[in-house]
Structure 1
């Protein structure tokens, strides 16, 4: 029973868990060999697994192997926890910091090597301190996240890393108050046994949450592909409609203004310069719309050369000036292809919830009527839908709309 509950035996079990997750990460690494975060996490499991086995076998191997190399491998593995999470979030990593921490273990170890008790105390304080630091840094990377990305399991991963770091902080206090005793080469300590078990549980939790984070990201990527226009990077028609309908259905909704935008004579661009240039024009305009949008604005490509902008909470004729400025700014955009400069213009139709129902279908219909009128007025302009000024002759005829859109 004493052998089962001894610190070395638990270290062997912990190393076995590290090796198990190392196999899982290695399989993922085979599928994605260029993933730097997987490489770091593979080393995170590999280094402590070997280091833990060396420390556990200090009765059978030279002490410089178990106490020096084993601890340095542990420290490098802990540093890779932080580097892996930093790489997972798309940020640069710096291996010099974990390497400096690992190599920095040698001077105090040599100084304290004159006494087994002193060496054990300083080794514990050193490892626990930097372990806590790396886990807190990993928690910070999770909390900071990746720009434009919200992963549902991130808060659980953050809590696990913080908890893991706090355990190591508390362990420093235990190491000072209740120093480890040695039965020959075997460390004897009830609190160290409990700490090692908690480390085992946290290792499983952190590794599992790493898998969940990767799963969340994969699902988010699939969702983005389903809701993003591949050419322009804007919302596709489905995402745009759902976004606007969601805004209009919100309680206490203050309404908003819908702008429907059509690139003038787009078919002529394709016929004259080719569809490749047409795609570049769409991309150029899509990037322009992104640059003028904010977090509340819903912007998307809702047709071939048709785009939409919904401005929640903004109403009234003052938005006509915005539409006019968008027209003017677009006329200044240029596409360079094969030594040629290609310019294009747009027409905009506006409608807001003051003049229509809180239904997207009706809002779209009114804005489309305004767009039709803008085209009738000569294009490269904007027009607002106004029911009081609506002229029966302005009722759109589908054949004419198709012809004008060409």
Structure 2
């Protein structure tokens, strides 16, 4: 059977290996700070355990106090890693397990008694496990099942460490060889560690898979969904609309004269306009809307709405904001406008290609009528929404008003939106 020193060295080797692997992963993705924190935790634990095994060969202060303080600091790093995994900042209380060791050793009876030092270490370790379990109870990462598994493992380890601390304090052994339950506790600790590592590995793998999926579904420049992402979200929007007997609206956006912006100000300025437009759309759309870039300067949004009225309100808010909000880039002020085409269908009849075809027809009409306009497809007719700015009211205003009045008979709640 392995003696305690050999077991410690084996565990330190495994922990050190994990630390190196996690460090390599972090070096390839430095924004993922949880990898660094977990790596530092395993490195600290391995270092502390190695120093303990050199008891009698190095100064006692190092092999006892520095070693155990270093090993316990691992819980602070792991706690910070869990917080970073949940996209939250570390807690200052993460140092509590190490500080418990320091505070306990201020008492001479603890500092000079092997059994009490072991009990103190286990109390500090139990505190670390319980703190990590508590942090996970309020976390939002991964699935509820995986979070509950971590909580269960860490609560169990915390309780076992507290029980071990009590047993050691009562039996008062003079060294590790006299601790009769050390093997059982060691096995339980290893099982707990392996279990928590396995669950965390699954969480990180799922997280990486989700990130790869999002990369496949999003536009790298703007962060908006790409066409494939829009198609994936369409079913969700349609099902939600169907449950409440609402309609699915598709809004198609095209930035006016975008090629001229690129030619006059440069492609980086054009990218800035695209990014600014995306931010404006996201800030003005309902939280349950789906927004994406379908290609070039073209964007689209899916909404579940009660009527055309709701979709037009969103579109007009975006159109006015874009027109009134110039983009500053490289000392230049770039003005842009957007043309918008809208169509709606009842959820039961909604088809993405059909919606896109109708919205494109409306967009073509908005472009043909002078750009910086919103047009809607209702039935087989495409009608332009009058702009609220005097400059946009041209000689065809009377015809537009008449058309909008006809639209009011087709879609509900129009009288508050369309005014002649």
**TM-score, length of structure 2 as denominator length:** 0.76
Alignment match of 1:176 (pick from 153, 156, 166): 166
Segment drifting more, 191-200 vs 285-294: 191-200
| Structure 1 residues 246 and 113: alpha-carbon distance in aligned structure 2, compared to 1, 3 A threshold | closer
Match of residue 105 from structure 1? 101
List gaps (5 residues or longer) in structure 2: 384-420
Superposition deviation, residue 114 in structure 1: 7.2
Match of 2:319 among 294, 315, 327: 327
Q: How many residues align?
A: 380
Distance 1:119-1:244 versus aligned 2 partners, 3 A rule? same
- RMSD of aligned Cα (Å): 3.4
Pairing partner for 1:274 from 249, 257, 266:
266
Report which structure shows greater RCO (CA 8 Å, sep ≥6): 1
* 8 Å CA contact 2:75, 2:97 repeated in 1: no
Q: 1:164 to 1:9 in 2, by over 3 A?
A: farther
Q: 1:379 maps to what in 2?
A: 371
Aligned pairs (5 A) from 1:103-142: 103-111=99-107, 112-113=109-110, 116=113, 119-120=116-117, 122-124=119-121, 126-136=123-133, 139-140=136-137
Over 3 Å counting, the alpha-carbon distance change for 1:186 and 1:265 in structure 2 is closer
- Residue matched to 1:297: 289
Contact 1:229–1:236, Cα closer than 8 Å, also in 2: yes
Cα distance in 2 between the residues matched to 1:337 and 1:60 = 65
Q: Are the aligned partners of 1:131 and 1:165 in contact in 2 as well (CA < 8 Å)? A: no
CA contact under 8 A between 2:340 and 2:366: conserved in structure 1? Answer: yes
Query: Residues 194, 237 of structure 1: CA spacing in aligned structure 2 closer, same or farther, 3 A cutoff?
Result: same
Structure 1 residue 78: Cα displacement: 1.8
Cα distance in 2 between the residues matched to 1:212 and 1:384? 48
Cα 1:81–1:332 shift into 2, 3 Å = same
Q: State the distance in 1 between where 2:371 and 2:329 align.
A: 24
Could you say which residue in structure 2 is the equivalent of 1:363?
A: 355
- Tell me the TM-score normalised to structure 1 length: 0.79
Q: For the residues of structure 2 that align with 1:259 and 1:376, how far apart are their CA atoms?
A: 17
Following the alignment from structure 2 to structure 1, what is the Cα–Cα distance between the partners of residues 296 and 57? 73
Partners of 1:101 and 1:355 lie apart in 2 by: 56
In structure 1, distance between residues paired with 2:382 and 2:136: 59
Whole-Å Cα distance in 2 between the matches of residues 206 and 331 of structure 1? 54
Contact 1:54 1:70 in 2 (8 A): yes
Equivalent of residue 285 in structure 1, options 262, 277, 283? 277
Show CA shifts across 1:219-243 (max 9, x none).
Answer: 3332222211122211111211222
What secondary structure, in the 3-state scheme, does the structure 2 residue paired with 1:317 have?
Answer: helix
Give the Cα–Cα distance (whole angstroms) in 2 for the partners of residues 198 and 129 of structure 1.
13
- Structure 1 counterpart SS, 2:349: coil
SS of the equivalent of 2:252 reads: strand
Cα shift at 1:200 = 0.8
Displacement after TM superposition at 1:202 (Å): 1.9
